A = this chain, B = another copy of it.
Amino acid sequence: MTQGTSIVGNGTGIGKTPFQETMDQVFLMTMALLIQLMQCGFAFLEVGCVRSKNVSSILMKTVLDAFVAGVAYWTVGYAFAYGEGNEFIGWNHFATSDLPSNKFAYFFYEFVIASTASTIVSGAVAERCEMVAYLVYSFVITGFIYPIVSRWAWSPFGWLYIGQEYMIDNSTVTIKYHDFAGSGVVHAVGGTASFFGALILGPRLGRFHPDSKDPLPMRGHSLTFASLGILILFIGFLAFNGGSQMSVSNPGDGDIISLAAVNTVLSAATCAYLTLIIHKIGILGRSWNVMFVVNGSLSGMVAICTGCDLLRPWAAIIVGAVTAVSFNFTAWLMWRLKIDDPVDAIAVHFGGGVWGTLSIAFLDYENGILRNWNYKSGLILGWQLAGILSIIAWTGVLSSIMFGLLKITGFFRVPEEIERKGLDVPKYGGPAYPLDAYGHGHVEKIPTVLENGELSCFSLGYINDSMKGTSDTGPYECPEIKAMNNMPVSFIPDVQLIVTPPEDGCLNRKNGQINPGFVCAFERTAL
């Protein structure tokens, strides 16, 4: 976002034609719409990672998230981040008042990014957090904590953006914090807040053994949703990293946009593969599953954010490789510390973000420590360190206070019984998959091959109305079944039909064969 000056600091767009200015705006808007896919992606990911009893709760959170962020960022967040003010905070354009009309594209882009920071946290506190707590922390993060950090690093007024002048080899050089697409500004903020949220909230009931404190498996209800989430997130990340150039009217903009995307692919791929290998060979002693690879690729995308505009592709591969260590170590550490993070958000965003922020100090071609260990590269590392430590300290202190207050006032965690039974029914108006919405009135005939090679058929079906009309309490004759298989049928009226096959199997009247097995799980149809 270092090129953001052309938009933020220089609204007159000197030297640009009106058409070029419009195309800058259109680029920002198009990328913002694609970045908005990250909201879908995180929603899929988080939904898949919770148990079915808490699905409505996470859905409510993800649906409201963009709206909480919209209101918070509009009313105060943008003013704190990009309004006129000092190096630490801005204080005009509250509620977009007096914002020039050509800045709305920039505002919208920044809003979309701000909403990402708070979405990260909702995964870490899933399955036990009160909705009111969610609304509060989401507002505070997108309205205050995150905007201040982006003030420092991305606003042309910010102290990390301005940096400092040094005399190096008899010439004056400005060294400053560089974070192109927010490994530190977005992801370390989200990861730090996730850490303190999960820490203060405590683990889910049953996540760790009450005595031995060993972790017990607590898997999400749908790997499908979680994995599809990552595929959608991938597009959002590519748009985020390319879009961070924030301009298409300066020569070379296109080069950086595309370099950023290529680096993102390479870092994510490398981290995904290495995570796969780490877990397949069992280095960290945790059983593996697809979620590790999903999260590994995600952390590779997080880490490359800082340097995707300037690192060469081979360096992006190194970034991804180190991220595999950083991500998996952080995940392992959380597990050892008994911090329960249902979606591994801390490992992905903190583990990936912190390393990513530092990575350019080592891997930049011209000024990286790897190739040029000198005073200048040391200063760069110093500024990256100063930036990331300030971000962690700021976010950590404020989020600890916020989550601590929520805990003390009793608004943070749902009562134990509700957590145990699930949040959806008492808090969110019902389960995500209501039992009465399933089943149908037809008998499904499932072909099966008998041991003598004959093709037979068994049936699974449900009671339907025509059957109900002729039934009452007691043994029941199911015409559709009886026609095919001669067998006694016991019946729980109105609802459930249990077919017990005779000991010698059932006669299949269609082909005269004895069908050696049969089950008929009849369930009630919705009226």
Interface centre among A248, A251, A496, A517 (most CB of B within 10 A): A517
**Which of B33, B96, B107, B232 touches A239 (beta carbons < 8 Å)?**
B33
Question: What per-residue 1/0 map shows which CB atoms of A284-299 lie under 8 Å from chain B?
Answer: 0001111111100100
* A290 adjacent to B56 (CB under 8 Å): yes
Residue A23 at the chain B interface, CB threshold 8 Å? yes
* B231 adjacent to A43 (CB under 8 Å): yes
Known: A212-B455, A265-B66, A503-B474. A258 touches B18 (CB 8 A): no
Known: A22-B251, A228-B43. A493 touches B473 (CB 8 A): no
Further pairs besides A492-B517, A495-B517: 10, Cβ < 8 Å? A19-B23, A22-B253, A29-B242, A43-B228, A52-B440, A56-B223, A63-B272, A104-B255, A104-B262, A222-B224
CB contacts (< 8 Å) of A420 on chain B: these are 441, 464-465, 525
* B313 adjacent to A96 (CB under 8 Å): yes
* A434 adjacent to B26 (CB under 8 Å): no
- Closest chain-B Cβ to A220's Cβ sits at a distance in Å of 6
Residue A88 at the chain B interface, CB threshold 8 Å? no
* B27 adjacent to A258 (CB under 8 Å): no
CA of A435 to CA of B24, assembled, Å: 50
**Which of B55, B417, B505 touches A473 (beta carbons < 8 Å)?**
B505
Residue A482 at the chain B interface, CB threshold 8 Å? no
Residue A269 at the chain B interface, CB threshold 8 Å? yes
Residue A227 at the chain B interface, CB threshold 8 Å? yes
Residue A211 at the chain B interface, CB threshold 8 Å? yes
CA of A102 to CA of B258, assembled, Å: 8
Residue A128 at the chain B interface, CB threshold 8 Å? no
- Closest chain-B Cβ to A256's Cβ sits at a distance in Å of 8
CB contacts (< 8 Å) of A446 on chain B: these are 217, 435-436
Q: Which A33-81 residues have C-beta < 8 A from chain B?
A: 33-34, 36-37, 39-40, 43-44, 47, 51-53, 55-56, 59-60, 62-64, 66-68, 70-71, 74
**Which of B210, B223, B234, B516 touches A494 (beta carbons < 8 Å)?**
B516
* A108 adjacent to B262 (CB under 8 Å): yes
